[in-house]
Amino acid sequence: MSAEPVYRRILLKLSGESLAGQGEYGIDGKVLRHYASEIKSVVELGVQVGAVVGGGNIFRGISDAAREMDRVSADYMGMLATVINAMAMQNALENMGLYTRVQTAIPMEQVAEPFIRRRAIRHLEKGRIVIFAAGTGNPYFTTDTAAVLRAIEIEAEVILKGTRVDGVYSADPEKDPKAKFFTELNYMQVVEKGLRVMDPTAITLSMDNKLPITVFNMGQTGNLRKVVLGEKIGTKVRG
């Protein structure tokens, strides 16, 4: 294991559902503080951090009503949910003395900066954590795809996808105790096996741009730091 980070700039992808903790929806303050603490531990190593947080924990509370809406309206509502999570994450990080910026794909100047690639990179170079919200700004694209797109745009060296399990399995390990764990996969294996790493659009975009993905358990204290330092944590997906 290296004492120095193996990555200079990362894109951290977190699911919105994980922010709900044990609840059905909403934001669990304990989980939020844990994530902020994990991010702080790698910023202190000199790593530049961009982040994308999903919106499932907010959107789940209105999902029944959304079924009666058209897909475009529902997708925009999901994008707005990610802005709420981004602002909550920003507050938790700043409470720990870190500098942050939220950039949104949908203009809302009163609460966040618009996404401007060069400005985002400049913030990262100055040691600020940049949280990208509102997805790509377009319906029909998931926050997984938004995370890959932002990672490519800011020239991140890797996408680190924090989940509730230790990495990628052949089935849901929380439901199937016989699920097989994968330490390493290539992009085509993910698509062919139908593994739930990221949606196919995100995987294809990663493959086309040779962007590696590491899936790991974000709930385990110290795991993010271990991944950044090059320890064998989680599942690596690459070419």
Which of 166, 175, 172, 180 has the alpha carbon at shortest distance from 220? 166
Which of 194, 201, 197, 196 has the alpha carbon at shortest distance from 238? 197
Return the structure tokens found at 48: 């530049």
Where helices occur in the chain by DSSP H, the ranges are 16-19, 29-43, 56-59, 63-66, 71-94, 117-125, 143-153, 187-193, 200-208, 223-228
Average pLDDT over residues 131-135: 97
For 204-217, the pLDDT digits (tens) are 999 999 999 999 99
Cα gap 34→92, rounded to integer Å: 9
Cα angle vertex 41, ends 35, 47, to 5°?
A: 110
* Site of tokens 């690639």: 117
Cα gap 185→164, rounded to integer Å: 19
Question: What domains are defined for the chain?
Answer: 9-238 (3.40.1160.10)
Q: Helices 71-94 & 29-43, crossing angle to 10 degrees?
A: 60
DSSP assignment of 47-87 equals: -EEEEEE--HHHHGGGHHHHTTS-HHHHHHHHHHHHHHHHH
For the cut 90, the answer to whether the pLDDT of residue 66 exceeds it is no
Q: Helices 117-125 & 143-153, crossing angle to 10 degrees?
A: 70
Question: Residue 239 has what pLDDT?
Answer: 80
Question: Residue 61 has what pLDDT?
Answer: 63
- The reply to whether the predicted model has a pTM over 0.85 is yes
Question: Residue 118 has what pLDDT?
Answer: 98
For all residues of the chain together, what is the average pLDDT? 92
Cα gap 131→100, rounded to integer Å: 7
Average pLDDT over residues 93-103: 98
Which of 147, 134, 138 has the alpha carbon at shortest distance from 199? 147
58 band by pLDDT with thresholds 50, 70 and 90: confident
Which of 200, 213, 214, 80 has the alpha carbon at shortest distance from 137? 80
Q: Which of 17-26, 86-95, 144-153 has the lowest mean pLDDT?
A: 17-26
63 band by pLDDT with thresholds 50, 70 and 90: low
* Site of tokens 């530049």: 48
For 157-171, the pLDDT digits (tens) are 999 999 988 999 988
